[in-house]
C-alpha cells in the first residue's frame, strides 16, 4: 500500500474515526485504525464491534492495499508532523513507513485483513429527519439513559417511528424523558428501535444545524451517512419497558414556579446534603415551597423558600437533587410545571408551554425521606 | 443453632423480616436462602418486584446505598442483595446502619458475609433489631444424606443407598460440593430416574483423593468416622502401615512437645497453622496418657514389620484405641 496526502486532510479524518476506537479492548486490533486504499480513495475505519465508522478521502494512490495502524501512535505522529504532504507506505505484514518533510517514521501495524469487516446488512428502511428535530430529540432524552450494564434495554434511546409522529424515550428507572414530535412525515417505515447512547453522542457531533439526516434502520443495525462519513451501530436487541404505563395521568397537585429560582435554590441547598443520597425535600404549602436538607453525618442543614403557584394540600416529597437539577436544566421555558400525586409516586415535570407540534414530558421518581 | 433449611421452611410459611444477614461459607445454602427469601417476598407482592445484586468487591457501594432509598419506576417493591458485607466501603457503613434503623417494608434487603465475621460492621449489623440472621455454614456430614435425598426428590429422582453413601463420602467437605456433583450426575444419567453407584463413580471418580494431612486433621479432631474412612481410602491408594504410624508418631510427639516447651523462649516454634493444630489437638487429647499412646504406636509398628497382617486390620484397631 502506498499513497500521499495532505497532513491536515488526513488528520481531520483520523480525528473523526478515532472517537470510535475503544480505549481498552480485549481485541487489540480494535485499538487500530484501518487504512484501506483503492486507487485514489482512502477509507479509514475504526470499530468497537458495536459501532463502526468509515470515513473516506481522496488521496494520491500509488499502490492499493490495507493496513491497520495503532490509533494513538498514528494520531500523535500525524498531529505533530510538518505541514504539507505525507507519504505512507506499508508491506503485506503491516510494517508501515511514514515520510513527512525530512522525517521517516516506522510503525508496526497489522495486516488490513485482520481488521473486522463492515457489518453485513441488508433491507435498510430509510427514515429522513430534520437535523434540528433529531438533535433536539437526542439532546433532550439522552440525559435519562441508564449506565447500568445489567439493564441493557435502558442503555439507549427508544425511537418510536410512525408515519406522522416520532418519539424518543429514555429512562434509567429513576427518571424518564419522552419527547413526541407530530410535525414528522415518513411514509417508508413504522417501527421502534433502541439506539445505543454512544452512537447518538457521535451523531450529535456531526449534525449540521440545517438540512436533514437519513437514518437507515435494518433488523439489527442502524446506519447514518454524513458526507464522507458512514456510522454503523448495532441496535440494542432488548425489550424496552412499558414506559407509557408509568407516566401518571391523574397527578392533581399542580405547581408552577420560576425555573431559575428553583434551580439556584437547589444548587445552594444541595451543598449541605448527604453526599451519597443527595437527598433534598420539597415541603409544599400554599404558594410557597421550602427546600430543605439535613445531613446528620456532617451535622449540616439548609432551608430555603421559593415562591410557587400552588393551591393544593401540604405535602413533603424527597428527591435526589442531582437528578432533579438535571431534569430541570432540560426545561427550556421560564417557568416549570410539576405535577404530583403523593410523596411516593412519580412527579411529572413539564415546560410551562409545549413547543408547537411537540409533547415533552419528563418524570422523576421521589426518594424515601429518612432524615 | 437452628438448621438453615428448617429456618427456610418456616420462612416459606411465615412472615418475612425486612433485612436478612446470611453468614457462613456454604455457597449452596447461600443461594438456597436467597432464592427462598426472594420467592417468599415475591409471593407477598402485587405487581413486579425488581431484584438488584451488589458485590462488596465491586466499587458500586454508592449505587447500593442509593437503591435503598429510591422508589422504583417500574416496580414498587424490590429485593436488594449485597454480597460480602464486610467489604462495604467505610463511607457507606453509616448510611446502611441508618437504613437498618428504619428499613422499608417495600424492600427486602439480604446481606451476606462469608468471611470477616469479626468486623465491626458485621457485629453492628448482626445485633440490629431489624436484622434476622441465618447461618449458612456447611452442615455436619451426618445431615448430608437427608439433604441430598431431599434435593434428589425435588428433582423427581431417586438414589440407591450405596450411591448415596458414595456421594456423601466423596463430597463431605461442603454441601455446595455435594450438589455441584449431583448436578453433574443428573446430567450424566440423562433420562434415567434412579442414580446408581456406577453413575456416582463414573462422574466423581470414586473416592475423594485424600492426603495424609486430611487423616491427621481427623485424628486431631478425634473424628473416628473420618479418620477410619480416610485411612481406608489411603490404604487403597497404596499407603502402608509404617507410613501411617510414623506420621501419627510425629504428630503426637509434636502435640505433646508443644505443651511441654515454653515456646516463647526456646527455639521450638512451629509455623502458625501447625501451632494452632497442635494446640487444638492437645486440648482434645489432654486427658490421654501420651506414654500409652506412644506405646500403642510402637507395638503396631513392630507388628507391621514382623507379622503378615493386612494394613486395615492393624490400623482400624489402632485408630480406635488412639482416638477413643
Local confidence band at B208 (pLDDT 50, 70, 90 cut-offs)? low
Q: Determine, for residues A346 and B73 on separate chains, whether the beta-carbon distance falls below 8 Å.
A: yes
Distance (Å) from the C-alpha of residue B90 to the closest C-alpha of chain A? 12
Q: Which of A224-238, A333-347, B125-139 bottoms out in mean pLDDT, i.e. has the lowest? A: B125-139
Q: Determine, for residues A320 and B95 on separate chains, whether the beta-carbon distance falls below 8 Å.
A: no
Supply the pLDDT for residue A161.
Answer: 95
pLDDT tens-place string over residues B40-65: 898 877 778 888 999 988 878 888 99
CB B20 within 8 A of CB B103: no
User: In order of start, what are the domains of chain B with their CATH numbers?
Assistant: 4-135 (3.40.50.300), 141-204 (1.10.8.60), 212-323 (1.20.272)
Local confidence band at B2 (pLDDT 50, 70, 90 cut-offs)? low
pLDDT tens-place string over residues A162-196: 999 999 999 999 999 999 999 998 888 899 999 99
Is residue B302's pLDDT more than 60? yes
Supply the pLDDT for residue B265.
Answer: 47
Average pLDDT over residues A77-86: 94
Supply the pLDDT for residue B94.
Answer: 87
Q: b vs e for B59-95, b when ≥16 Cβ sit within 10 Å of the residue's Cβ?
A: eebeebbbbbbbbbbbbbbbbbbbbbbbbbeeebbeb
Beta-sheet pairing, A221-226 with A212-217: antiparallel
Q: What is the largest CA-CA distance in chain A?
A: 79
Indicate if the alpha-carbon torsion angle B83, B85, B91, B94 is positive or negative: positive
Average pLDDT over residues A235-262: 94
Supply the pLDDT for residue B219.
Answer: 92
Q: What are phi and psi of A134, to 5 degrees?
A: -60, -45
Average pLDDT over residues B129-135: 89
Is residue B206's pLDDT more than 60? no
Average pLDDT over residues B100-114: 91
Is residue B273's pLDDT more than 70? no
Average pLDDT, chain A: 93
Q: Which residue has the cell 446502619?
A: B97
Supply the pLDDT for residue B267.
Answer: 46
Q: What percent of chain A has pLDDT over 90?
A: 82
Please tell me the number of Cα atoms within 13 Å of B44 on its side-chain side.
20
Q: Which of A122-136, A186-200, A205-219, B191-205 bottoms out in mean pLDDT, i.e. has the lowest? A: B191-205
Supply the pLDDT for residue B163.
Answer: 87
Residue B156 backbone zone (phi > 0: left; psi -120 to 50: alpha; other: beta): left
How many angstroms separate the CA atoms of A319 and A325, rounded?
10
Local confidence band at B236 (pLDDT 50, 70, 90 cut-offs)? confident
Closest partner residue to B73 (CB to CB) among A246, A276, A297 is A246
Local confidence band at B3 (pLDDT 50, 70, 90 cut-offs)? low
Supply the pLDDT for residue B261.
Answer: 65
Q: If you measure CA to CA, which chain A residue comes closest to B103?
A: A370
The residue of B58, B65, B73, B93 whose CB has the most chain A CBs within 10 angstroms, and thus the best one to mutate to test that interface, is: B73
- What residues 42-61 of chain B have any CB closer than 8 A to a CB of chain A? 50, 52
- Nearest CA to A151 among A132, A172, A165? A172
Set of chain A residues whose Cβ sits within 8 Å of the Cβ of B73:
171, 173-174, 176, 246, 346, 363, 365
Supply the pLDDT for residue B271.
Answer: 56
Taking CA atoms, A365 is separated from A225, A318, B73, B320, in Å, by 38, 9, 6, 69
Supply the pLDDT for residue B266.
Answer: 42
Set of chain B residues whose Cβ sits within 8 Å of the Cβ of A367:
69-71
What's the distance, Cα to Cα, between the start and end of chain B in Å?
27
- 3-state SS class at B21: strand
CB A143 within 8 A of CB A133: no
Average pLDDT over residues A76-99: 94
Supply the pLDDT for residue B128.
Answer: 86
Supply the pLDDT for residue B280.
Answer: 85
How many angstroms separate the CA atoms of B65 and B272, rounded?
39
**Helices vs strands, H then E, count in chain B:** 15, 7
Is residue A55's pLDDT more than 90? yes
Taking CA atoms, A24 is separated from A236, A302, A351, B307, in Å, by 21, 43, 41, 70
Is residue B4's pLDDT more than 80? no
Q: Which of A58-62, B273-277, B291-295 bottoms out in mean pLDDT, i.e. has the lowest? A: B273-277
Q: Determine, for residues A370 and B74 on separate chains, whether the beta-carbon distance falls below 8 Å.
A: no
Q: Determine, for residues A366 and B74 on separate chains, whether the beta-carbon distance falls below 8 Å.
A: no
ipTM beyond 0.90?
A: no
Q: Which residue has the cell 437507515?
A: A216
Local confidence band at A366 (pLDDT 50, 70, 90 cut-offs)? very high
Is residue B172's pLDDT more than 80? no
B286 touching A, CB under 8 A? no
Average pLDDT over residues B59-76: 86
Is residue A22's pLDDT more than 90? no
Supply the pLDDT for residue A104.
Answer: 95
Supply the pLDDT for residue A240.
Answer: 95
Please tell me what DSSP assigns to residue B59.
S
Local confidence band at B303 (pLDDT 50, 70, 90 cut-offs)? confident
Strand order in the sheet with A60-63: A60-63, A2-6, A85-90, A95-100, A103-108
Question: Mind giving me the DSSP string for B80-132?
Answer: EEEE-GGGS-GGGHHHHHHHHHS--TTEEEEEEESS-TTSHHHHHHHT-TTEE
Here the cell at position B295 is 506405646
Supply the pLDDT for residue A99.
Answer: 95
Question: Mind giving me the DSSP string for B230-275?
Answer: HHHHHHHTT--HHHHHHHHHHHHHHHHHHHHS-TTTSS----HHHH
Q: What is the largest CA-CA distance in chain B?
A: 82
How many angstroms separate the CA atoms of A141 and A157, rounded?
7
Local confidence band at B1 (pLDDT 50, 70, 90 cut-offs)? very low
Supply the pLDDT for residue A266.
Answer: 96
Is residue A356's pLDDT more than 80? yes
Distance (Å) from the C-alpha of residue B51 to the closest C-alpha of chain A? 11
Beta-sheet pairing, A60-63 with A2-6: antiparallel
pLDDT tens-place string over residues B210-225: 778 889 889 998 988 8
Amino acid at each position: 500500500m502506498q499513497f500521499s496526502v495532505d497532513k491536515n486532510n488526513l488528520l481531520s479524518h483520523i480525528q473523526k474515526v478515532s472517537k470510535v476506537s475503544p480505549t481498552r479492548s480485549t481485541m487489540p486490533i480494535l485499538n487500530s485504525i484501518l487504512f484501506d486504499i483503492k486507487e485514489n480513495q482512502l477509507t479509514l475505519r475504526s470499530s468497537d464491534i458495536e459501532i463502526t465508522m468509515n470515513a473516506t478521502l481522496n488521496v494520491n494512490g500509488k499502490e492499493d492495499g490495507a493496513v491497520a495502524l495503532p490509533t494513538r501512535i498514528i494520531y500523535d505522529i500525524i498531529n505533530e508532523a510538518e505541514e504539507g504532504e505525507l507519504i505512507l507506505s506499508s508491506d503485506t505484514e503491516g510494517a508501515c513507513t511514514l515520510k513527512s518533510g525530512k522525517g521517516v517514521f516506522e510503525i508496526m501495524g497489522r495486516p488490513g485483513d485482520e481488521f473486522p469487516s463492515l457489518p453485513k446488512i441488508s433491507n435498510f428502511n430509510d427514515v429522513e429527519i430534520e437535523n434540528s428535530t433529531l438533535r433536539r430529540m437526542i439532546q433532550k432524552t439522552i440525559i435519562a439513559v441508564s449506565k447500568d450494564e445489567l439493564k441493557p434495554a435502558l442503555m439507549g434511546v427508544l425511537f418510536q417511528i410512525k408515519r406522522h409522529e416520532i418519539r424518543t424515550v429514555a429512562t434509567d428507572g429513576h427518571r424518564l424523558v419522552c419527547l413526541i414530535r407530530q410535525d414528522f412525515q415518513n411514509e417508508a417505515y413504522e417501527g421502534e428501535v433502541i439506539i445505543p447512547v454512544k452512537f447518538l453522542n457521535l451523531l450529535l457531533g456531526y449534525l449540521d444545524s440545517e438540512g436533514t439526516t437519513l437514518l437507515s434502520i435494518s433488523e439489527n443495525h442502524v446506519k447514518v451517512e454524513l458526507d464522507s462519513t458512514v456510522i454503523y451501530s448495532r441496535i440494542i436487541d432488548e425489550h424496552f419497558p412499558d414506559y407509557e404505563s408509568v407516566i401518571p395521568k391523574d397527578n392533581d397537585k399542580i405547581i408552577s414556579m420560576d425555573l431559575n429560582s428553583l434551580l439556584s435554590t437547589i444548587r445552594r441547598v444541595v451543598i449541605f446534603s448527604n453526599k451519597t443520597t443527595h437527598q433534598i425535600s420539597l415541603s409544599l404549602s400554599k404558594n410557597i415551597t421550602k427546600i430543605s436538607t439535613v445531613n446528620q453525618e456532617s451535622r449540616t442543614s439548609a432551608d430555603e423558600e421559593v415562591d410557587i403557584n400552588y393551591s393544593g394540600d401540604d405535602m413533603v416529597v424527597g428527591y435526589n437533587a442531582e437528578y432533579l437539577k438535571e431534569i430541570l436544566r432540560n426545561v427550556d421555558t421560564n417557568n416549570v410545571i410539576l405535577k404530583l400525586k403523593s410523596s411516593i409516586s412519580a412527579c411529572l415535570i413539564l415546560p410551562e408551554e409545549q413547543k408547537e407540534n411537540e409533547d415533552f414530558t419528563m418524570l422523576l421518581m421521589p426518594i424515601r425521606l429518612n432524615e | 443453632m437452628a438448621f438453615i433449611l428448617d429456618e427456610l421452611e418456616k420462612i416459606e410459611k411465615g412472615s418475612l423480616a425486612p433485612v436478612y444477614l446470611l453468614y457462613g461459607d456454604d455457597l449452596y445454602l447461600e443461594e438456597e436462602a436467597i432464592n427462598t427469601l426472594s420467592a417468599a417476598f415475591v409471593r407477598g407482592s402485587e405487581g413486579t418486584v425488581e431484584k438488584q445484586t451488589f458485590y462488596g468487591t465491586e466499587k458500586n457501594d454508592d449505587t447500593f446505598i442509593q437503591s435503598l432509598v429510591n422508589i422504583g419506576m417500574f416496580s414498587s417493591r424490590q429485593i436488594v442483595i449485597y454480597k460480602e458485607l464486610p467489604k462495604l466501603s467505610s463511607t457507606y457503613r453509616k448510611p446502611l446502619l441508618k437504613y437498618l434503623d428504619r428499613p422499608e417494608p417495600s424492600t427486602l434487603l439480604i446481606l451476606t458475609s462469608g468471611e470477616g465475621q469479626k468486623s465491626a460492621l458485621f457485629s453492628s449489623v448482626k445485633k440490629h433489631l431489624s436484622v434476622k440472621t441465618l447461618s449458612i455454614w456447611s452442615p455436619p456430614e451426618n445431615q448430608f444424606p437427608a439433604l441430598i435425598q431431599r434435593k434428589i426428590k425435588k428433582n423427581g429422582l431417586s438414589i440407591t443407598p450405596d450411591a448415596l453413601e458414595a456421594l456423601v463420602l466423596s463430597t463431605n467437605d461442603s454441601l455446595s460440593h455435594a450438589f455441584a456433583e449431583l448436578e453433574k450426575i443428573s446430567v450424566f444419567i440423562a433420562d434415567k430416574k434412579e442414580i446408581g453407584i456406577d453413575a456416582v463413580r463414573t462422574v466423581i471418580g470414586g473416592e475423594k483423593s485424600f492426603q495424609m494431612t486430611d487423616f491427621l486433621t481427623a485424628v486431631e479432631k478425634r473424628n473416628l468416622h473420618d479418620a477410619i474412612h480416610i485411612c481406608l481410602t489411603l490404604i487403597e491408594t497404596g499407603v502402608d502401615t509404617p507410613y501411617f504410624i510414623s506420621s501419627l508418631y510425629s504428630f503426637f510427639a509434636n502435640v505433646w512437645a508443644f505443651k511441654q516447651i515454653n515456646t516463647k523462649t526456646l527455639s521450638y516454634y512451629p509455623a502458625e497453622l501447625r501451632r494452632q493444630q497442635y494446640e487444638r489437638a492437645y486440648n482434645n487429647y489432654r486427658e490421654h496418657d501420651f506414654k500409652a499412646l506412644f506405646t500403642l504406636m510402637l507395638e503396631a509398628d513392630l507388628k507391621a514389620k514382623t507379622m503378615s497382617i493386612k494394613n486395615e486390620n492393624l490400623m482400624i484397631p489402632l485408630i480406635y484405641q488412639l482416638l477413643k
